[in-house]
Structure 1
Amino acid sequence: MLTVDNTRPVGPAGRISRVETLTLGTAWRDFSYVRVHTDAGLTGVGEITHPYRARETCQLAEAMAGRHLIGADPFDVEEIWLRMYQGDFLRGGDVGGIVVSGVDQALYDLMGKALGVPAYRLTGGACRDRVRVYANGWYTGDREPAAFAERARATVAKGYTALKFDPFGAGLGELSRAELRRSIDIVAAVRAAVGPEIELYVEGHARFAMHTAARLVRELEPFDLGWFEEPLPWTHIERYAELRARATMPISGGEHFHNRYEYARLFATDAVDIIQPDLSMAGGFTEVRKLAAIADQHAMVVAPHNSNSPLCTTASVHAVLGMPNFKILETFDGLLEDYVFDAVRGALPVVDGHIDLPTAPGLGIELVDEVFAEHPPSHGFWNMFAEGWEKRDRR
């Protein structure tokens, strides 16, 4: 089973004949993609963005093509997933997880195009008429309560009904008394600016010691948060349940896990109330559907992480439409330059904090090579443990 079998009858997409990668530079981060061609003349696309390792993900995708993809039928998604994961001896990790995820997206794109239906028709259909999204990345700039409040009001004015932000600056492990007060003052200013009806999510970026996280859940209680995200490092996953027992708001997390095997400890310890798999990291359509089903067994809901490009936003919409325990989808799309949407032509737009049902076959996206050529990758890096990281000045 772990080798390409060219003797089987082939499906309507034909066989995979070529795999290529592309990377687009932006002020936020470099976005990387895989494009899969078949001998039937179809192409499918998926996102393989890594915030810092664009070269590595592209190189691995191209290497995997020869080992596991060329000659395969795109409809054999389960076998191809296993072939890449088991056959390439992946044992977790971000680069391999991202490549498997992006290739899986491209396969669903190919299947949808071959059948003439949107990809979500192949992943459970639709449980809802549109997908609610929340804004992230809106708070770039000065880390002052008044500045956060102003930007929050402007974002809500665009139609968003939910916002996420990290008020903690470069905090790691512990916060000084001054930094603690400043962080809480930022949350208070945002809540006062947007009113009680807007849902607020606070990001911890998996970086606090237990006693600091416990102090923060007490300090944040008055602001009626929709969730507190990743307050503890995942090296201390067993303490998440203890923190949940102290918190009045839901605890969320899971973006750093790349498949059901890595998620196993999260589920076994009931670490969170809300899981946050990323369609471009957690195994693509094939794996995220399984994670959602396991989450449902644990009375958890799903709010996918998505700090990627509009391609991943669009693919995530297809993925969550048929997910009964879906809550809300993250998007950074409002932060991006206009040319990003030119590069990933056909990406679904955010309108009044929602994204409507897709109608085009597959994912409905084509990559425009000319735009990629005009905006090459910068391979920049921003260190979120350094002062001023929230300005996202990549160096």
Structure 2
Amino acid sequence: MKITSARIYLIESGGIRPVILELETDEGIIGLGEACIAYGIGGTASAGMLKDIIERYMMGGIDPFRIEALWTEIYDHGFWAKGGGPIVYAAMSAIEQAMLDIKARSLNIPVYELLGGRVQDSLRTYCNGWYFGCTQDSQLPDAAAKAVTDGYDALKFYPFVTIMPEGRLRHPSFRAASDRSIVKRAVQTVSEIRRAVGPDVEIMLDLSAGLTTDDTIRFCREVENLDITYVEEPAVPGDVGALVKIAQNISQRIAVGERVYSRYGFRDILESRAVDILQPDIGNTGGLLEARKIAAMAEAYSMKVQPHICASALSTAVGMHFSASIPNFYIQEHFPYWARIPGHVEVLENPIEASVKGGVIPVSDAAGFGVQLRRTALDNSIYGEYALS
């Protein structure tokens, strides 16, 4: 079997830009992967990196079963992968995922069988995006309560953001170094959300490295009485010294990983013992096999692991297979309310979001990732098409 064609989609979807790769073999088997640079900037760059890797390493048709061999070839000889950031690793992630999808579909097994088999039969989720549709802080408590009514008992929020009139979120500028009001407003907002959802709902706070280390510590101390499950990204990614300082001065658990790339990027974090939960993003850390290696490293350090999800519905399906295969799985991120965002494009015919009941994902046993592209919605989103043989 050989990979004979590739298609890259760059999709405009309500403020995010998912990048999806479709590979097809000479036997007509199709595999999907996603470069998860959907949020923020970089979508065009990751689509371009996919193009460069495809043209350099995949022309002439390659064996889709030789996944580690291709990954290592790109890592050793693509130059920028060593010490590289999200653009190169996102492209590598998408290729690796699509090859795994092809391999699993050809064997008529779910992808998680290629990762060691299913450990989890169902996956507890936390709800992100429950605030979609809000245009001011005063609307947040009711929106949080509505998500709980919909069956979610764990919610994530960004306490330092400003809600823009169009409903999008804006993180602090300049790490809010001179804005002394931001901590006070954040404490008030989180307090109101806690009152709205009651004491039994878990609240996770993504700090997105928005403040200086001292203000982050001050904020975490001021919300100690609100029973926060964990704080995410309290320091700039890569600043292990700041993580250590924060961990020594707050009571909440710390989660990091969405902007850390490959097993090599996680090594110093693990050795610092400053973190409790790792959150590799499968679509930008190097792929499923790389995330599985990171999870194994975390297991050796007695750490929980959960995939970071913030792209299209394909990334949720990929995350399901990863989470199902690891013994130290904690909880899966989940965006059930993307459709509230004007301009949202559903990329799949059968997103697994529709299967979520009571905040739990039942693990599917369909072959591959078990999902298909909704081609009718993507005709205008083709970035490039390539014949590889």
- Tell me the TM-score normalized by structure 1: 0.87
User: 1:142 is matched with which residue?
Assistant: 135
Aligned partner (choices 349, 352, 365) of residue 348 of structure 1: 352
Q: Which amino acid aligns with 1:288?
A: A
The equivalent residue for 1:386 is: none
Q: 1:61 corresponds to which residue? A: 50
CA deviation after TM superposition for structure 1 residue 98, in Å? 0.4
Deviations 1:162-192 (A, max 9, x none): 1100111243243634322211011111111
Cα deviation for residue 279 of structure 1 reads 0.8
Q: How does 1:349-364 map to 2 (within 5 A)?
A: 349=353, 350-364=356-370
Residue number among 19, 33, 37 corresponding to 2:24 in the alignment: 37
* Correspondent of 1:120 among 103, 112, 121: 112
Separation in 1, partners of 2:136, 2:55:
48
Relative to structure 1, the CA distance from residue 340 to residue 80 in structure 2 (aligned partners, 3 Å threshold; closer, same or farther) is farther
Higher deviation after alignment, 33-42 or 47-56? 47-56
Deviation at 1:342, TM superposition (A): 5.0
Percent identity between the two aligned chains: 29
Name the stretch that deviates more: 328-337 or 24-33: 328-337
Matches within 5 A, 1:224-303: 224-303=227-306
Aligned to 2:144: 152
Q: CA deviation at 1:305?
A: 0.8
Taking the aligned partners of 1:287 and 1:118, their CA distance within structure 2 comes to 18
CA separation of 1:255 and 1:218: change in aligned 2, threshold 3 A = same
Q: CA deviation at 1:319?
A: 0.8
Query: Structure 1 residue 75 and structure 2 residue 65: aligned?
Result: yes
Which amino acid in 1 is paired with 2:350?
Answer: G
1:336 CA drift (Å): 3.1
If the length of structure 2 is used for normalisation, what is the TM-score? 0.88
How well do the aligned residues superpose, as a CA RMSD in angstroms?
Answer: 2.0
Aligned residue for 1:272, secondary structure, equals coil
State whether residues 101 and 111 of structure 2, in contact with CA within 8 Å, keep that contact through their aligned partners in structure 1.
Answer: yes
Which of the residues 368, 372, 378 maps onto 2:374? 368
Distance in 2 (alpha carbons) for counterparts of 1:181 and 1:373: 47
Point out the more displaced range, 42-51 or 230-239.
Answer: 230-239
Distance in 2, Cα, partners of 1:322 & 1:167: 32
Query: Partner of 2:168 in structure 1?
Result: none
Task: Specify every segment of 5 or more residues in structure 2 that has no aligned partner in the other structure, as ranges.
Answer: 162-170, 384-389
1:105, 1:297 → 2: CA distance? 25
Distance 1:32 1:207 in 2: 26
Partner of 1:390: none
Other-structure match for 2:159: 167
